[in-house]
Amino acid sequence: MASEVNTNFLTDKRLDRIAADVLRPVGVDRNFIIWMTSLTALLFVCMYAYYIQLDKGLIVTGLRDYVSWGMYISNFVFFVATSLVGMLISSVLGMMGYKWVKPIGRIAEIIAVAFSAIAGLVIVSDMGRPERLPYVFMYGRIQSPILWDVTVVTTYMTLSVLLYLFTMIPDMAISKGRIGHTPVWLQKTYELLSFNFQHKPEQYKILLKAVRILLILIVPTAFAIHTVTSWLFAVTTRPGWDSTIFGPYFLSGAFVAGCAAVIILMFFVRNNYKLSRYITQEHFDKMGKLLFLVSIVYFYFNLNEYLVPAYKAKTFEAHHLHELFAGEFAFMFWSVQLLGLIIPMILLLFKQMRKPFPMVIIAIVVLIASWFKRLLIVVPTMEAPFLPKQYVPDAWMVYHPTVIETAITVGTLTLAVMIISVLMKLFPVIPIWEIAEEESAHPDQQPVE
Amino acid sequence: MLIRLTLFCSLIMVASLVSGQTPWVVPSDWNAKLSRTSFTDQNRKTGGELYLTNCKSCHGDPGKNNVILLVPPPPDPSSVQMQQNSDGALHYKISEGRVTMPSFKNIVNSADIWNIIAYLRSFNKEYIQQTAPKPQFAGESFDKVNLELFWDAPNKRVVAWLTGVQGSVTKPIPSMELKLFAKRYFGNLMIGKPVETNEEGKASFLFPENLPGDSTGMVTLVAQLTNEEIFGLVKAESPMAIGVASNRPPLNEPRALWNVGLKTPVWLLFTYLTVVLGVWGSIFFVMLQLRTIFKIGQ
């Protein structure tokens, strides 16, 4: 991000066109109401499932003595992982001066805000007595990675919200006179969120300074959020978790899931909001290359994570790996590794596959696989404790998620989609001022749609 | 003819192996074994609780025939197949196990196996219990066997005194081997070698001078009869202030990762607070900028 803003773009006619394009889909239309109503209905069904869990306790889930972290904690890791892409795109690539990320930076931020907010909620779904949540703060031990996790998730969410908010202030100022077609309350919200921004150079100076601080802070926080999440597992000696590379392994996996999520939203914005002028073929090509890069890093960590213990085959590790490679979890394991990592990597090498449509298919498969990948990290280890499993009913020995548990998990995903929908539909999804400034500075460059 | 006979025999063997119906041979001494005490309601109650945790998952609820599907099927406790066993045979089978029936000798102690048998027999109305004769030793039988522990301070020895009660008469029991243990955190530590009781029924153990006790030097000593066959389990337990007082600071005293929140290691507290205050300080600074932006615009 530049340290100064050339405010010439404000008088440039291109601004009107860009603002008109970006603000056209903004507002409450029929499709949006139908979409949100269906999501709300689904959410209510899932909330009823949660009511049952609150009433009867965790016995309604498949969680028992051995597998006490099942779908919920896998889901938590998935949410934390996916939210990390906000840092990668806005912060790392943005600060390195890659201008092509400007139109998709806000999409990445929306994912960061929605997914980090829901991550905290998912943890509560795994609690048998959620009303005791304040105890974490009242009696928490600083020695426990769980307290660190609560700290960094809260911090990352705050930073993501602030980054989303700050970069949108000039857009709110630009847009507030141009959204006559939207409800009054939305116009008032824009007015409020513009913070009296009048594009004064002093205001831009302060804004850029604040954004710079946020961009710098968010890098170590994002590293911390997922490294600490990995430590929840890696600080134990259990097979499959007792690993020194768990931090980078989780981080690299997070970027794979996050890039896939960004590509899916990019495709949606490009096609449904008719913004192909701003999110171009080139963006998909570049995101495809980025996804390939993070995938090959993740592949490298997977190789280390599985090959090294498999070569040594220590008793418990050997049993664990056997379950993954050829046992109970083999089908899921190989599906995830092939469909979620190896095949996408091969496909992304071809230019034809980095076009919007093939890319979104690849991204959907990768995102689904990355959800199951988290399940494979959590469940097989919990099913194989060091001490023999005895004196419990047979049904407790193996983890079978129940319908209620699945419904609650679907509920958290629904909630994330709802937040994303609201942010994408009611606010400019592409930073108008940044694009206008860019186009004003380089008027000769025309995007290839 | 011989071939046919061989074939027939092997067929029967295979069939019986497949159905798992090979007879379960109990050694004759075990078959004849009896409980030394009459089964009481308390025995049956304890046995019932043990049955619930250890046996029910396969043998089901007695009388309901809701046993688990295994080959061979585990019999229902009220069935003839179960009840035709002698008390000793049941004890042997529970202790040793076979195929799908696990061995319980390391999980449930001998007295508790008798309790389980007491419970099992409560589902057999025709059962009349026979008890083993009272403990006999060298032609004498005792109503009760006592074991007591003393500290022989001048000789620095622990003395265990074994006596038998016969009506109102108490007699020493000689020539019985005793073992002495000191109770430790994880299990018992044997002190010296096993010693036989003398004519007075006493066995004396040389006690080491450097054995650590608790903060006041207390050591809990346990003496036990090696042979449980004659009198059953005879055991005495007594705390004595004969160890070396050890005033080690408890493990939860220093600041450590495993300690409570108030005893966080300083380096961790410092790191955590510095990072959290630094980051959140910056966040509040950034939030304040919103106010400045707002003011400039007015």
Q: Is B150 helix (H, G, I), strand (E, B) or coil?
A: strand
Q: In chain B, what residues touch A217 (CB-CB under 8 Å)? A: 279, 282-283
Query: Which residue is closest to A194 within chain B, CA to CA?
Result: B294
Please report the DSSP string for B266-291 in residue order: HHHHHHHHHHHHHHHHHHHHHHHHHH
pLDDT per residue over A93-122, tens digit each?
988 888 899 999 999 999 999 999 999 899
CA dihedral A135, A139, A141, A147 (to 10 degrees): 20
Is the model's pLDDT at A173 over the cut of 90? yes
Is the model's pLDDT at A158 over the cut of 80? yes
Is the model's pLDDT at A290 over the cut of 60? yes
pLDDT per residue over B116-135, tens digit each?
999 999 998 888 888 887 66
Q: What is the pLDDT of residue A392?
A: 81
* Residue among A159, A206, A391 whose CB faces B289 most closely: A206
pLDDT per residue over A30-89, tens digit each?
999 999 999 999 999 999 999 999 999 999 999 998 999 999 999 999 999 999 998 889
With contact defined as beta carbons under 8 Å apart, do B246 and B218 qualify? no
Is the model's pLDDT at B186 over the cut of 70? yes
Query: Which residue is closest to A150 within chain B, CA to CA?
Result: B276
With contact defined as beta carbons under 8 Å apart, do B116 and B47 qualify? yes
CA dihedral A324, A326, A329, A335 (to 10 degrees): 90
Q: Which CATH number fits domain B22-121: 3.40.50.720, 3.40.630.30, 1.10.760.10, 3.40.50.620?
A: 1.10.760.10
Specify the domain boundaries for CATH 1.10.760.10 within chain B.
Answer: 22-121
Name the residue among A399, A155, A400, A236 with its Cα closest to residue B272. Answer: A155
Q: What is the mean pLDDT of residues B10-23?
A: 57
CA atoms within 13 A on the CB side of B195: 22
Helix axes A246-272, A102-125, angle to 10 degrees: 120
Calculate ∠ Cα A331-A335-A339, nearest 5°. Answer: 175
Confidence of residue B239 (pLDDT cuts 50, 70, 90): very high
* Residue among A214, A391, A393 whose CB faces B286 most closely: A214
Q: In chain A, what residues touch B272 (CB-CB under 8 Å)? A: 142, 148, 151
User: Is A196's CB within 8 Å of B297's CB?
Assistant: yes
State the sign of the Cα–Cα–Cα–Cα dihedral A60, A63, A66, A68: negative
Helix axes A71-83, A356-383, angle to 10 degrees: 140
User: Is B287's CB within 8 Å of A162's CB?
Assistant: yes
Q: What is the mean pLDDT of residues A192-207?
A: 93
With contact defined as beta carbons under 8 Å apart, do A170 and A433 qualify? yes
pLDDT per residue over A222-274, tens digit each?
999 999 999 999 999 899 999 999 999 999 999 999 999 999 999 999 999 99
Q: Strand pairing partners for B196? A: B177
Between chain A and chain B, how many beta carbons pairs sit less than 8 Å apart?
A: 73
Which residue is it, tokens 């939210």? A83
Is the model's pLDDT at B109 over the cut of 90? no
Which residue is it, tokens 């090294």? A308
Q: What is the mean pLDDT of residues A5-17?
A: 84
Q: What is the CATH number of domain B136-240?
A: 2.60.40.1940
User: Is A143's CB within 8 Å of B261's CB?
Assistant: yes
Specify the domain boundaries for CATH 2.60.40.1940 within chain B.
Answer: 136-240
Enumerate residues 188 to 217 of chain A having a beta carbon within 8 A of any beta carbon in chain B: 195-198, 200, 202-203, 206-207, 209-210, 213-214, 217
Q: What is the mean pLDDT of residues A379-392?
A: 87
Q: In chain B, what residues touch A139 (CB-CB under 8 Å)? A: 261
Confidence of residue A448 (pLDDT cuts 50, 70, 90): low
Q: Say if strands B177-183 and B195-196 run parallel, antiparallel, or are unpaired.
A: antiparallel
Domains of chain A: 7-441 (1.20.1630.10)
pLDDT per residue over A313-340, tens digit each?
998 999 999 999 999 999 999 999 999 9
Ranges of beta strands (E only) in chain B are 136-137, 140-141, 144-152, 157-166, 169-172, 177-183, 188-190, 195-196, 202-206, 219-225, 235-240
User: Is B268's CB within 8 Å of A142's CB?
Assistant: yes
Question: What ipTM goes with this model?
Answer: 0.90
